[in-house]
Amino acid sequence: MGIKLDPWGHLSISDYEKLFTQFGIEPIDSVIEKLPVKHYFFTRKIVFGHRDMEKWLDALKCGEKVVVLTGFMPSGHTHLGHLMVFEELKYLQQLNAHIHVAIADAEAYVVRRLSRRRAIKYGLEYIAHAIAWGLDPDRTIFYFQTNQSTDYYRLIQLFSRKTSLAEMEAIYGELSPAKIVAALTQAADILHPQLSSYGGYKYVLVPVGADQDPHIRLTRDIADRFSTELGLERPASMYHKFITGLDGNKMSSSRPEYAIFLLDDEESVKRKVLNALTGGRATAEEQRKLGGQPGKCSIYQLYMYLLSIDNKELLEVYNSCTSGKLLCGECKRKAYEKLAKVLSEHKKKYKKVVETGVLEKVVEKPSF
């Protein structure tokens, strides 16, 4: 999918046409008007689409019970890609939604084949970072997929009756018992907050990347199939773009040189940022003449997602780049300084979370 950016990172509809027309994801525009506080993730179309989110916002407005549920696959150290989701959750919590965070340790073990020890360790790290970033643990439920209640697991069992291998194969490709159990577990993650033992019916919103929409569709279908029997309703969903790694691909812990981890030391951050892929031209001279290409630049992504919350400031970066005034070296240094400051403040808070033993209070570790 070729992504074209304007200063605000807007996508032209054509980029996501298939999602909108073929799969029925709605553009985010109509939702933005309804947001009581307009986070730059929405106005910059980092969150670009949704299903049924207007309904969810109406419920929020009317004071009905609303939750946001998201899952993290604990397969590596926490990086900026995760931080963007923490920011999303923090924002939705400020709107008054209760937050549920699933650590997908079952999936990490069965599909990604991580050891239990590592999956649990990474999971705890995500939780500590989420709290350090500002998620209020008193209004957040953190849990491990392998450490849930009987009612949650009963859903996994019951859901298996009303799903077929064919529909799973269409989503997950070649199947295995592991993938099937992981898929049913994910559906239980999304739908269990509606159970009476979890406080009864509530409106659920799931923020995900567009690549996760097939899971959402399967889960919505399962909800339909159990609407009479268990009173389940379809979840709403919202779709975000991912911050790219410093090589222009998806940021991932499997390519650590191109990811910024939240606990990276300053030297590493500096090295990674200064080596990042930019939208710069072959020579400084050419760049002064033609201007840089922020749409191809991983550093510009840093500004847009995290470093320039202020629109005026972001526009300035954009204009000075495209006009050829700001060259990549200087731009990278500025980005590094801003990023180092953000990370250094975050690290202090993270350290405090870990040291004060908050983790032990907010989440129970699986016993094996």
Residues at the interface with a copy of itself (CB under 8 A) = 106, 109-111, 113, 116, 145-151, 153-154, 156-161, 163-165, 168, 175-178, 180-182, 184-185, 195-197, 229-230, 366-368
- Cα separation, 267 vs 260, whole angstroms: 12
* Helix-helix angle 116-133:328-355, to 10 degrees: 100
- Cα separation, 206 vs 27, whole angstroms: 16
DSSP strand pairing (26-27 vs 203-209): unpaired
Closest CB 126 distance from a copy of itself, rounded Å: 19
Choose between 139 and 162: whose C-beta lies nearer to a copy of itself.
162
Closest CB 222 distance from a copy of itself, rounded Å: 11
Choose between 130 and 195: whose C-beta lies nearer to a copy of itself.
195
Task: Confirm if 195 and 163 have CB atoms less than 8 A apart.
Answer: no
* Sign of the alpha-carbon torsion through 317, 321, 324, 330: positive
Distances in Å between the alpha carbon of 126 and those of 30, 119, 142, 156? 32, 11, 10, 25
- Cα separation, 190 vs 339, whole angstroms: 33
Closest CB 170 distance from a copy of itself, rounded Å: 13
Closest CB 157 distance from a copy of itself, rounded Å: 4
Query: At a CB cut-off of 8 Å and minimum separation 6, what does 220 contact?
Result: 51, 234, 235
Choose between 208 and 230: whose C-beta lies nearer to a copy of itself.
230
Choose between 228 and 283: whose C-beta lies nearer to a copy of itself.
228
Choose between 14 and 149: whose C-beta lies nearer to a copy of itself.
149
Choose between 223 and 335: whose C-beta lies nearer to a copy of itself.
223
Closest CB 73 distance from a copy of itself, rounded Å: 14
What angle is formed at CA 176 by the lines to CA 175 and CA 177, rounded to 5 degrees? 130
Q: What does DSSP assign to residue 12? A: P
What is the DSSP secondary-structure string of 297-346?
-HHHHHIIIII--SHHHHHHHHHHHHTT-S-HHHHHHHHHHHHHHHHHHH
Choose between 185 and 308: whose C-beta lies nearer to a copy of itself.
185
> 10 Å Cβ neighbour count for 145?
27
Distances in Å between the alpha carbon of 222 and those of 101, 184, 210, 232? 21, 10, 19, 9
Closest CB 203 distance from a copy of itself, rounded Å: 21
Closest CB 23 distance from a copy of itself, rounded Å: 23
What SS3 state is found at 250?
strand
Among 245, 197, 201, 262, smallest CA distance to 226 is for: 201
Closest CB 212 distance from a copy of itself, rounded Å: 20
> Cα dihedral angle (340, 128, 209, 170), rounded to 10 degrees?
140
Choose between 156 and 299: whose C-beta lies nearer to a copy of itself.
156
Closest CB 177 distance from a copy of itself, rounded Å: 4
Choose between 84 and 222: whose C-beta lies nearer to a copy of itself.
222
